[in-house]
Amino acid sequence: MSTTTEAALEANNASAPRFWRSDALPFIEARSIDDGRDICYAKHSHETFSIGAVTGGRSVYLNRHASEWIGAGAVVLMNPDDVHACNPVATERWSYRMLHVDVAWLTKLQHELGFSENHAFRAFSPTMTLDGALFDGVNRLCAILADHDADTLRKESAAITFFSAVQQKLNPARVPDRNASAALARAAEFIAENCTRALKLEDVCEAAGLSASHLIRAFNARYGMTPHAYLINRRIQYSRAQLRRGRLIAEVALDAGFADQAHLQRTFKRLVAATPGQYRN
């Protein structure tokens, strides 16, 4: 598979699991199931850090020596090599979404958020939480990862934003106070000058001289939007200029960096409150 290939393994029925993964984002994999009432998990562990949201039904959740009933709204966490199992009540429609994250990637993020670089991965103490923001975050990230219109920059930014929130809520560390005004200006300028390219987050980070987690957090605070949202806004500005010249919408869509004309149509209407055709005419 190429570095941009994504695999979404479609289920033939509600009881079959669905997976998402991408060669462009090899550090994360998503799994979901809509009706797992007949599923029975033997005790097992993962080499990844795993976090999941229960969206329906109830089950007995085992993690190491702890055992508890959980239901819709619960967020479960499994550190690498934690022996666990989650077996549902057979008569209830058990559903969930799960994210599996590479430990080296998450450790690097922990360092960027203020942990000493001499530390290895810092395990999470909670095995379950009812935090509504984290529950919504799991579901939102899974939806973004599975969205065919979302590019790699948006997906990677969403993953960093979510796991930064997980870290700060459940395993907080003091974030260094750094003056990044000039660096943020460099990031914004780089995005503006390269808005029609398929930018990667690492490209923007290199131009700004900032880590990914710091860039996303500080950029949002400075400009009121994420680097990805800023990129899309710049692409729409570019599209408007090209449409004023009377160019074909399909040509403008591809030149501006959108997947196709339909993608430009949806995004243009969301930001401009008019279709490209209405604007051009």
Domain 6-170, what fold?
A: Jelly Rolls (2.60.120)
User: Which of 40-44, 58-62, 138-142, 171-175 comes out lowest in average pLDDT?
Assistant: 171-175
pLDDT at 62: 87
**Nearest residue to 267 via CA among 147, 185, 186, 158:** 147
Mean pLDDT computed over 169-176? 68
pTM of the model: 0.77
Give domain 177-281's CATH superfamily: Homeodomain-like (1.10.10.60)
Chain segment 67-120, per-residue pLDDT in tens: 889 999 999 999 998 888 888 877 888 899 999 999 999 999 998 888 766 678
Rg (CA), the chain: 21
* Domain extents in the chain: 6-170, 177-281
Chain segment 229-273, per-residue pLDDT in tens: 999 989 998 998 999 899 999 999 999 999 999 999 999 988 888
